[in-house]
Amino acid sequence: MEPIFVQNFEINDMVVDRFGRLKPSMLLLYAQTVATRHGELMEVGYDILNQRRLFWAVIRHRVQITRLPRHGETIRVETWPLPATRSSYPRSVIAYDEAGNECFRAISLWVLMDMDKRNMILPGKSGIVVSGSVRGNELALPGSLAPGRLVNRRERTVCYSDLDRNGHMNNTKYLEWIDDLMPSDFHRDHTLKEMTVCYLSEAWEGQKLDLHWDFLGEGIMQVDAYRENGEKPERIFSAKFAY
């Protein structure tokens, strides 16, 4: 099995915003797609893990964007796994345009989850081996995000179309919710340069999430999402965007 998996994607009407730029959510979708297909070729894909009642879940993303590809372009996306850590399986992604110029790069942390108990299985106890390599051009592993003092609030409910086949809200949907916090005029004048997203707990259909958000400095936006859980709200995801 090749240590690097490559796939081309055409930037069409379905993946761009109203200004013709690739949506940040679709950037993560491409990263997720190549990771999934490479996993299948490495015999650690969904169907094989499902036989053991396990599934992959991404818990953190870090992305640096040189430029967002535009409608009509074709990009080449490369991915490869890094050596597993004590708790997760890192994976790197780099995307290039047709001239060979880098568009964006990302690194993500994946964990194995028990499909029935919904708890994380450590790599050393999972029996799942992913052969990883270090090429030297990977981003640093993403760290955690501390909750911020964020003054703006908006409530949203997890709907059917937000779910993936694991039954929880898909990570790409979080980014669409974040994009919706700001109007078109903002997105016309601001292009995303970097983002870190931490997925802290699964969100289920019908749950109401309370989005807290604010700009912490020039072009730096943080979003923390909570749901009610007894006396203390539970943080579901956090994201920091740099425009």
pLDDT confidence tier of residue 231, bands split at 50, 70 and 90:
confident
- How far apart are alpha carbons 150 and 227 in whole angstroms? 16
Q: What is the mean pLDDT of the chain?
A: 95
What's the gap between Cα 101 and its chain centre? 23
Show the tokens assigned to 213: 């958000």
pLDDT confidence tier of residue 86, bands split at 50, 70 and 90:
very high
pLDDT confidence tier of residue 229, bands split at 50, 70 and 90:
confident
Q: What are phi and psi of 177, to 5 degrees?
A: -60, -40
Q: Is 212 left (phi over 0), alpha (psi -120 to 50) or beta?
A: beta
pLDDT 10s digits, 136-178 = 999 999 999 999 999 999 999 999 999 998 899 999 999 999 9
What residues does each domain of the chain span?
Answer: 5-126, 152-242
- How far apart are alpha carbons 93 and 146 in whole angstroms? 25
Q: In percent, how much of the chain has pLDDT > 90? A: 91
Q: Where does 5-126 sit in CATH, by number?
A: 3.10.129.10
Selection from 196, 189, 200, 37 nearest residue 111 by Cα: 200
**CATH architecture under which domain 152-242 falls:** Roll (3.10)
Fold match, 5-126 / 152-242: yes
Angle ∠(222,225,226) on CA atoms, nearest 5: 140
Task: Indicate if the pLDDT at residue 80 is higher than 80.
Answer: yes
Q: Are 82 and 214 in contact (CB under 8 A)?
A: no
For position 183, what pLDDT does the model report?
97
pLDDT 10s digits, 12-55 = 999 999 999 999 999 999 999 999 999 999 999 989 999 999 99
| Beta strand 120-121 pairing with 194-199 | unpaired
